[in-house]
Amino acid sequence: MGLDITKIRQEFPILDNNTLVYLDSAATAQKPKIVLDAMNSYYCTSNANVHRGMHSLAEKATIAYEEARKAAAAFIGAAPQEIVFTRGCTESINLIAKSWGSANLRNNDVVALSLLEHHSNIVPWQQLSSEVKWIGIDDAGHVNMEGLDAILKEGNVKLISITGLSNVLGTMTPLQEIIQKAHNAGALVSVDAAQLIVHKKIDVKELDCDFFSFSGHKLYGPTGIGVLYAKQELLEAMPPFLGGGSMIGEVTTEGFTCADIPQKFEAGTPPITEAVGLCAAIDWLSQFDWTDIAKHEQALMTYAIEQLKSIEGLHLLSQLPIGCLSFTIPGIHPHDLTDMIGQKNICLRAGHHCTMPLHKHLGISASTRMSFAIYNTKDDIDRCIVAMNDAINTLTL
């Protein structure tokens, strides 16, 4: 039947007055009312800390929190005990690096990254004593698989940590092929799915990835919560990332023992309300067919490319993207452009998008990004293009 975009937009309070053109969902998506209501209802009816209380509110809170874990697990085809709640994708990757990485990587071991990576999938690995090697990309922005093969042949790669979808070029990486190559070479694979998770149905068991991370706020859920999936045997062998309440089995004056997974990695009071919101977001998104979502978003992408190409001198950084379009305009700084159209309530993003190595490779310091979600329309694009042309005319006077 396809998507009823008019009806979908009505579910997002921030879009209700129809004056906002929001084309920045790669940074954070807007939230449907059902997510906001779920979080408010939790605070009004069930607010308590989880797991340790013996009163009814604590029991309700614990049930809601663990139901969110089950929902996140089912959403990506995992088991609940393989799901760790974090503050976001960034913290998930840091957990992998500081826990698994610190325990398993030595000075001569290699972590392989692609030039597409977000800083959150670069800096945690650079902080370790292991060596980082870079997988290049071709002119179309796709991972250079021959370069990957050459790095794997050296025999000391312990982990490939790679994005599933570039937040700048919109290029999707061939995860299954990369994972198979890595496993054949004795390496593990961590997938940064911050962008991928909202554009494609994922089954981590089918992928056979070892780690998989994403944030709730790009998935129409709240900020402040992320998901880390890791194979059970890896989680069980990894040391805890943070110490404190909830992650312990027993504490004595001589030391401590850890709780079972996943609690071992959830020290302190977890993001309970945010987990409730994430659960509601997953339930809301799951009502739609992924084929319909992809068809709608690709139609927007095709239309946006056509309209952007009408702007003299505009250079698209990629030609067949998913989720986002990035571009430059000679003589126009991205910050100036987005500031001027932002004053008209039109939201794009400008800068290096936390991908400085990629931008250096492309020979630019910054770009402008237009990104799409389920609630966007061709009218959003039309209004954005009009505002861009007005801004360009002003800036080139």
| Residues 179-219: tens digit of each pLDDT | 999 999 999 999 999 999 999 999 999 999 999 999 999 99
Residues 133 and 183 in one domain: yes
Residue 326 lies in a domain: yes
Residues 203 and 303 in one domain: no
Residues 277 and 328 in one domain: no
Residues 214 and 73 in one domain: yes
Just list the catalytic residues: 354
How are strands ordered across the β-sheet holding 324-328? 315-316, 324-328, 367-371, 349-351
Compute the mean pLDDT over every residue in the chain, rounded to the nearest whole number. Answer: 97
Residue 316 DSSP SS3: strand
Report the number of distinct structural domains present in the chain: 2
- CATH number, domain with residue 340: 3.90.1150.10
Residue 31 lies in a domain: no
Mean pLDDT of 288-315: 97
Residue 136 lies in a domain: yes
Tell me the residue type at 109: D
- Domain hosting residue 305, numbered range: 5-24+289-395
Domain boundary among 285, 320, 346: 285
pTM for the model stands at 0.97
Q: Which parts of the chain are beta strand (E)?
A: 21-22, 83-86, 110-114, 131-135, 157-163, 188-192, 211-215, 226-230, 248-251, 256-258, 315-316, 324-328, 346-347, 349-351, 367-371
Residues 162 and 298 in one domain: no
Residues 230 and 379 in one domain: no
Confidence of residue 52 (pLDDT cuts 50, 70, 90): confident
Residues 280 and 140 in one domain: yes
Residues 71 and 177 in one domain: yes
Mean pLDDT of 257-261: 96
- CATH number, domain with residue 176: 3.40.640.10
Residues 157 and 296 in one domain: no
Domain boundary among 235, 270, 285: 285
Domain boundary among 267, 285, 303: 285
| Residues 81-127: tens digit of each pLDDT | 999 999 999 999 999 999 999 999 998 999 999 999 999 999 999 99
Residues 293 and 281 in one domain: no
Percentage, residues of the chain above pLDDT 90? 95
Residue 145 lies in a domain: yes
Note the pLDDT of residue 362.
97
Residues 235 and 359 in one domain: no
Residue 328 lies in a domain: yes
Residues 332 and 278 in one domain: no
